[in-house]
């Protein structure tokens, strides 16, 4: 497999592998940088199966470092942001020996990893056992962190050989692709890793943005005549709200793939109106089971099928469960309570399924708002609100209530010059004859923008109540 990957890069030769700012790097230059990086790592004492943290965003050096560590059968922990909480979690549960910084050149630091605290000894032993199994299989590993919005992130361990091998199998050796793909999704997220590997094993060009903001992304689409844009519903709405699709020439786009969060029916209508002639495809995946191949019912439908032969799915009590060939090995710091006894992964996504097998994501189980026994999923109310010509964006969430258990709250970004009082009045009047009384928000905040996470998803856990 490693020989196959290196052989492909050599065959692609002078074709552009990476475009970073104003610099194009060929596959041969990427291969040369991988070999150089492997030499640097060896000189610093990095040995096969060592755990190595890679701190950096998309760049020639960061990509070459991850691939060099894959070739060296190491366990790779990519981190775009080296926050204290995330680093402490990785150190405690992964016991990394080295930290590689790729922001300005290549800097390799040996880490002084303290002995585990007695309270964490059993978890650390289980983590070491998972890494030992990787070593025994002579395989490389990949560690991803969950968003950790409600506490310490989950440490997710993958067999990197399995992930790369799946990509090589799905995209067999053939004439190099001419596609340029924007690396919009995070470098340390399963979606970003998937985009990067899919592009490089097929001989495409990975175009690297330095700021994941609509102006830069749309500017790169125009400059590089990008045909495929992988992104999220929230980011697409940002492009539309700012009019960036009109300020830049996006006529090269043929396909927009969207994932990381559910798409509301109303927002999908808005995207179709503003991107006529562009095919829309809903993607689906999790950090634990990888990104599945999907087929949308149509560009104007939020229903899709999982059409991946390597992924099984089933629905239990309304929740989607998955089992895949590239499934994670386990959590290194949590009990595997998300796995059933027969190794199905509980996604936490509530779905409905049509008779012909199409799925529609209704929302996350943990986001259900329970008002005195009546239940609401935020996406439902957001879709209704987005139908208003006076609302550009909104986020619905629940808050504790002493009487009803929870109450419905919404933050709205109005269109135009509406005052805050007028915006609140409009929300109440607009919803009055469209939803049941318990779904009417008890708190309406007017905001300048709806908060978005690094993973391009709406933030629901603690939305900003600016102007409440």
Q: Residues near 417 by Cβ (< 8 Å), separated by ≥ 6?
A: none
Q: What is the pTM of this model?
A: 0.90
Task: State percent of the chain over pLDDT 90.
Answer: 79
pLDDT band per the 50, 70, 90 thresholds, residue 150? low
pLDDT band per the 50, 70, 90 thresholds, residue 467? very low
Q: Which two tokens stand for residue 134?
A: 């990787």
Alpha-carbon distance values, 387 to 353, 434, 438 (Å) = 25, 11, 20
The residue segments making up the domain with residue 86 are: 2-164
Find out whether 366 and 356 touch, Cβ atoms under 8 Å: no
Q: Does the pLDDT at position 344 exceed 80?
A: yes
Task: Compute the average pLDDT of residues 446-455.
Answer: 89
Task: Compute the average pLDDT of residues 124-138.
Answer: 82
Q: How far apart are CA 333 and CA 128, in angstroms?
A: 11
Which of 134, 164, 194 represents a domain boundary (last residue)? 164
| Per-residue pLDDT, 127 | 73
| SS3 annotation, 254-308 | CEEEECCCCCCHHHHHHHHHHCCCCEEEECEEECCCEEECEEECCCCCCCEEECC
Q: For the chain, how many helices (H) and strands (E)?
A: 13, 27
Q: Do the domain assignments include residue 34?
A: yes
Q: Does the pLDDT at position 109 exceed 60?
A: yes
| Per-residue pLDDT, 304 | 96
Q: Do the domain assignments include residue 186?
A: no
Q: How far apart are CA 267 and CA 265, in angstroms?
A: 6
Q: Which comes out higher in pLDDT, residue 126 or 225?
A: 225
Which of 104, 136, 164 represents a domain boundary (last residue)? 164
The three-class DSSP label of residue 98 is: strand
Number of domains in the chain: 2
Task: Compute the average pLDDT of residues 189-218.
Answer: 94
Task: Compute the average pLDDT of residues 82-92.
Answer: 90
Taking only the tens place, the pLDDT of each residue in 303-318 is 999 999 999 999 999 9
Q: Do the domain assignments include residue 297?
A: no
List b or e across 356-377, with b for residues whose CB sees 16 or more CB atoms inside 10 angstroms.
eebbbbbbbbebebebeeeebb
Question: Bridge-partner residues for 206, per DSSP?
Answer: 18, 181
Q: Do the domain assignments include residue 454?
A: no
Q: What CATH number is associated with residue 407?
A: 3.30.300.30
Q: Do the domain assignments include residue 269?
A: no
Taking only the tens place, the pLDDT of each residue in 234-273 is 999 999 999 999 999 999 999 999 998 999 999 999 999 9
Q: Which comes out higher in pLDDT, residue 81 or 170?
A: 81
Taking only the tens place, the pLDDT of each residue in 356-379 is 999 999 999 999 999 999 999 999
Q: Do the domain assignments include residue 73?
A: yes
Q: Which two tokens stand for residue 89?
A: 């979690």
Closest CA to 391 of 358, 357, 416: 416
Specify the residue for token string 């978005």: 452
Q: Do the domain assignments include residue 239?
A: no
Q: Does the pLDDT at position 77 exceed 60?
A: yes
Q: What CATH number is associated with residue 109?
A: 3.40.50.12780
Question: Bridge-partner residues for 142, per DSSP?
Answer: 76, 158
Q: Do the domain assignments include residue 231?
A: no
Q: How far apart are CA 243 and CA 274, in angstroms?
A: 10
CA geometry: angle 243, 248, 250, nearest 5 deg:
105
| Per-residue pLDDT, 466 | 44
């Amino acid at each position: 497999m490693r020989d196959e990957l290196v052989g492909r890069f050599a065959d692609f030769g002078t074709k552009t592998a990476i475009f970073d700012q104003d610099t194009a790097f060929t596959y041969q230059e990427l291969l040369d940088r991988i070999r150089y990086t492997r030499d640097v790592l060896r000189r610093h004492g990095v040995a096969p199966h060592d755990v190595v943290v890679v701190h950096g965003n998309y760049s020639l050096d960061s990509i070459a470092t991850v691939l060099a560590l894959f070739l060296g059968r190491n366990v790779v922990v990519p981190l775009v942001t080296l926050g204290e909480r995330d680093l402490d979690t990785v150190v405690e549960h992964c016991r990394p020996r080295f930290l590689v910084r790729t922001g300005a050149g290549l800097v390799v630091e040996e880490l002084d990893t303290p002995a585990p605290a007695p309270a964490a000894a059993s978890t650390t032993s289980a983590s070491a056992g998972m890494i030992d199994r990787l070593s025994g299989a002579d395989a490389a590993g990949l560690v991803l962190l969950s968003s950790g919005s409600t506490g310490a992130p989950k440490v997710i361990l993958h067999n990197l050989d399995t992930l790369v091998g799946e990509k090589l199998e799905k995209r067999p050796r053939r004439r190099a692709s001419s596609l340029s793909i924007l690396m919009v999704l995070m470098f340390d997220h399963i979606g970003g890793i998937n985009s990067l590997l899919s592009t490089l094993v097929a001989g495409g060009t990975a175009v690297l943005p330095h700021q994941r903001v609509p102006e830069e992304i749309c500017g790169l689409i125009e400059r590089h005549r990008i045909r495929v844009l992988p992104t999220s519903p929230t980011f697409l709405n940002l492009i539309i709200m700012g009019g960036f699709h009109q300020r830049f020439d996006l006529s090269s786009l043929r396909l927009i793939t969207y994932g990381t969060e559910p798409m509301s029916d109303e927002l999908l209508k808005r995207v179709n109106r503003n991107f006529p002639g562009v095919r829309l495809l809903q993607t689906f995946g999790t950090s634990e089971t990888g990104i599945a191949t999907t087929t949308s019912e149509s560009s104007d439908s939020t229903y899709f099928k999982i059409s991946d032969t390597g992924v099984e799915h089933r629905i239990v009590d309304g929740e989607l469960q998955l089992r895949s060939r590239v499934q994670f090995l386990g959590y290194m710091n949590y009990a595997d309570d998300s796995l059933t006894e027969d190794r199905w992964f509980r996604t936490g996504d509530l779905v409905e399924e049509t008779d012909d097998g199409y799925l529609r994501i209704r929302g996350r189980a943990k986001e259900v708002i329970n008002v005195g026994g009546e239940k609401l999923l935020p996406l439902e109310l957001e879709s209704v609100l987005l139908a208003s010509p006076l609302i550009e964006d909104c986020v619905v969430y629940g808050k504790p209530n002493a009487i009803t258990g929870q109450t419905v709250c919404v933050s709205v970004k109005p269109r135009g010059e509406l005052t805050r009082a007028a915006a609140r009045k409009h929300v109440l009047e607009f919803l009055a004859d469209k939803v049941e009384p318990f779904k009417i928000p008890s708190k309406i905040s007017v905001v300048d923008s709806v908060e978005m996470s690094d993973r391009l998803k709406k933030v629901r856990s603690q939305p900003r109540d600016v102007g409440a």
